[in-house]
């Protein structure tokens, strides 16, 4: 009897992969971090993706089928990432969702690419997360970091009459460099806007006194400081700038969104962040606020930053493409995705082309922190898309 059971178990195991290829199912495979530091980035966006999936399933599913989900943990490790990618593909995934960050998501995305499946980075903001760094079937659900820098430059120029800019870059990550690259691309297009100085620091630097001294040495305080950095170093840099009595407006990328750190810099003012949607309950689109409530209901907490939202957008655009193609077959789905021009989503229009599977122009809400209270004050879309050639430089 025991032997029979073993044999039975063995055959079930062997036939499982064959069943998985059965086309009656629509499967989304999450090869994301369930443990390790990337989990902090992947989990919220994945929760948002799951909300969209359950919405679609509740409304009757996709192509008349319920969307199924399979998971594999990358453990925030690249080699494990490749295995996780293979695992979800073996489990029959029709689309592979990979880690937020390009460096940690790419091994799984590459396995999807070589298996001829579409892949989506949860919230990567590098041009490489897509055609340029993975292949023709890879997409990112977020917006390029460069768009954030360009948005802040153009918006502050037009709406805040900023004319003199100072550029302070934390060279720690590609993301930071991306924000400043977008700023650099936009600035020459703004008549009589000048860069009065630039400097770099490192996220882990305990003190940026030298950089601050150079800002203080300027004949006049700049109108705006473009601060290209991210957590955790951002807090210390912001604190030191304000403590030195520099009151210029500080422009940032989305990486510093969230109110969790604001207590470290009491009464912060004149501080601006571009976001895809507002977590502060004041989004101009009431559906975003409704989504926030739903997110709280499902996960037990409010979204902590705007990086929750790309997960929702990802399933939204992918499901639309599948619906239009009438199949989950890769070439057809990718072709439908590439036809999307200013496709409306909860968090602004999205466009994919055969040249770029990422947003090189997007609507951003501008969040201003005033006396320690963040809130949406405006929205802005850069006047022209950043050309791919400039993004690759």
Partner 1 sequence: MSHPVSHGSVARRSIATPVLLGLLLVAFALVALAAGSKPFNQTIIDIFLKVIFVVGLWVFVGNSGVISFGHIAFAGLGGYVAAWTTIKPMMKGLSMPGLPDWLMQTEIPYWASAGLAAGWAALWALIFGSVLMRLSGIAASIATFAMLAMVNSIYSNWDSVTAATSSVVGIPIIRSIWPYLIAALIAVFAAWAYGISRHGLALRAARDEPTAAAASGVDIPRARLIAFVISGAIMGMGGALYAHSIGIVTPDTFYLGLTFITLSMLVVGGMGSLSGAVLGVLILSTLIQTLRWLEAGVEIGTTTFALPGGVQEIGLGVVMILILMFRPAGIMGNRDLSLPARAASETKGLQSPKT
Q: Is 368 in the site for partner 1 (CB under 8 A)?
A: no
Q: Is 103 in the site for partner 1 (CB under 8 A)?
A: yes
Q: Is 160 in the site for partner 1 (CB under 8 A)?
A: no
CA dihedral of 253, 258, 263, 269, whole degrees rounded to 10: 50
Closest alpha carbon to 279 in 312, 314, 319: 312
**Which residue from 30, 41, 102, 347 is in contact with partner 1, where contact means CB under 8 A?**
102
**Which residue from 49, 72, 346, 382 is in contact with partner 1, where contact means CB under 8 A?**
72
Q: Is 360 in the site for partner 1 (CB under 8 A)?
A: no
Closest separation between CB of residue 225 and partner 1, Å? Answer: 25
Q: Is 35 in the site for partner 1 (CB under 8 A)?
A: yes
Q: Is 1 in the site for partner 1 (CB under 8 A)?
A: no
110-118, 227-235, 304-312, 315-323 -> range binding partner 1 (CB under 8 A): 110-118
**Which residue from 65, 78, 214, 324 is in contact with partner 1, where contact means CB under 8 A?**
78
| Closer to partner 1 by Cβ: residue 86 or 250 | 86
100-108, 237-245, 277-285, 322-330 -> range binding partner 1 (CB under 8 A): 100-108
**Which residue from 79, 209, 293, 342 is in contact with partner 1, where contact means CB under 8 A?**
79
Q: Is 29 in the site for partner 1 (CB under 8 A)?
A: no
What secondary structure, in 3-state letters, does the chain show?
CHHHHHHHHHHHHHHHHHHHCCCCCEEEEEEECCCCCCHHHHHHHHHHHHHHHHHHHHCCCECCECEEEEEEECCCCHHHHHHHHHHHHHCCCCEEEECCCHHHHHHHHHHHHHCCCCEEECCCCCCHHHHHCCCCCEEECCECHHHHHHHHHHHHHHHCCCCEEEEEEECCCHHHHHHHHHHHHHHHHCCCCEEEEEEEECCCCCCCHHHHHHHHCCCCCCCEEEEECCCCHHHHHHHHHHHCCCCCEEECCHHHCCCCCHHHCCCCCCEEEEECCCCCCCCCCHHHHHHHHHHHHHHCCCCCCHHHHHHHHHHHHHHHHHHHHCCCCHHHHHHHHHCCCCECCCCCCECCCCCCCCECCCEEEEEEEECCEEEEEEEEECCCCCCHHHHHC
Q: Is 205 in the site for partner 1 (CB under 8 A)?
A: no
Closest separation between CB of residue 75 and partner 1, Å? Answer: 8
| Closer to partner 1 by Cβ: residue 14 or 191 | 14
| Closer to partner 1 by Cβ: residue 79 or 243 | 79
Q: Is 107 in the site for partner 1 (CB under 8 A)?
A: yes
Rounded Cα distance, 133 and 109, in Å: 10
| Closer to partner 1 by Cβ: residue 120 or 312 | 120
Closest separation between CB of residue 321 and partner 1, Å? Answer: 25
Question: Could you say which residues in the range 6-25 bind partner 1, by CB under 8 A?
Answer: 14, 17
How many residues line the site for partner 1 (CB under 8 A)?
Answer: 32
Phi, psi of 74 (to 5 degrees): -85, -10
Count of residues in the chain: 393
Q: Is 119 in the site for partner 1 (CB under 8 A)?
A: no
Binding mask 80-99 for partner 1 (x = CB under 8 A): -xxxx-xx-xx---------
Which residues are at the interface with partner 1 (CB under 8 A)?
Answer: 14, 17, 34-35, 72-73, 75, 77-79, 81-84, 86-87, 89-90, 102-103, 106-107, 110-111, 114, 128, 132-134, 173-174, 392
């Amino acid at each position: 009897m025991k032997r029979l059971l073993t044999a039975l178990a063995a055959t079930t195991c062997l036939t499982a992969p064959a069943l998985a290829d059965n086309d009656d199912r629509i499967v989304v495979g999450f090869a994301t971090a369930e443990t390790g530091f990337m989990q902090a980035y992947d989990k919220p966006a994945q929760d948002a993706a799951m909300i969209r999936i359950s919405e679609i399933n509740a409304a009757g599913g996709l192509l008349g089928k319920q969307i199924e989900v399979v998971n594999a943990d990358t453990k925030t490790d690249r080699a494990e990432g490749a295995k996780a990618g293979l695992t979800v593909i073996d489990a029959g995934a029709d689309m592979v969702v990979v880690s937020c960050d390009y460096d940690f998501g790419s091994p799984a995305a590459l396995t999807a690419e070589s298996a001829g499946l579409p892949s989506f980075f949860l919230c990567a903001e590098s041009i490489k997360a897509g055609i340029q760094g993975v292949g023709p079937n890879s997409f990112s659900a977020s917006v390029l970091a460069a768009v954030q820098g360009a948005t802040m430059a153009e918006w502050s120029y037009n709406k805040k009459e900023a004319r003199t800019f100072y550029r302070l870059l934390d060279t720690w990550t590609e993301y930071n460099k991306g924000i400043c690259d977008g700023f650099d691309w936009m600035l020459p297009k703004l008549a009589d806007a000048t860069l009065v100085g630039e400097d770099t620091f490192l996220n882990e630097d305990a003190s940026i006194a030298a950089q601050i001294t150079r800002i203080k040495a300027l004949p006049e305080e700049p109108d705006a400081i473009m601060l290209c950095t991210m957590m955790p170093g951002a807090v210390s840099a912001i604190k030191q700038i304000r403590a030195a009595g520099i009151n210029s407006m500080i422009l940032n990328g989305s990486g510093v969104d969230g109110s969790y750190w604001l207590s470290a810099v009491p009464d912060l003012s004149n501080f601006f962040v571009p976001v895809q949607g507002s977590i502060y309950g004041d989004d101009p689109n009431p559906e975003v606020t409704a989504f926030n409530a739903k997110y709280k209901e499902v996960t037990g907490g409010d979204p902590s930053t705007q990086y929750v939202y790309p997960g929702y957008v990802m399933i939204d655009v992918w499901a639309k493409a599948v619906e239009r193609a009438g199949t989950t077959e890769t070439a057809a789905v990718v072709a439908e995705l590439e036809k999307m021009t200013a496709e409306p989503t909860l968090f602004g229009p999205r466009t994919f082309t055969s040249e770029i599977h990422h947003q090189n122009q997007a609507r951003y809400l501008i969040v201003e922190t005033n006396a320690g209270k963040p809130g949406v004050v405006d929205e802005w879309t850069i006047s022209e898309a950043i050309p791919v050639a400039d993004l690759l430089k």
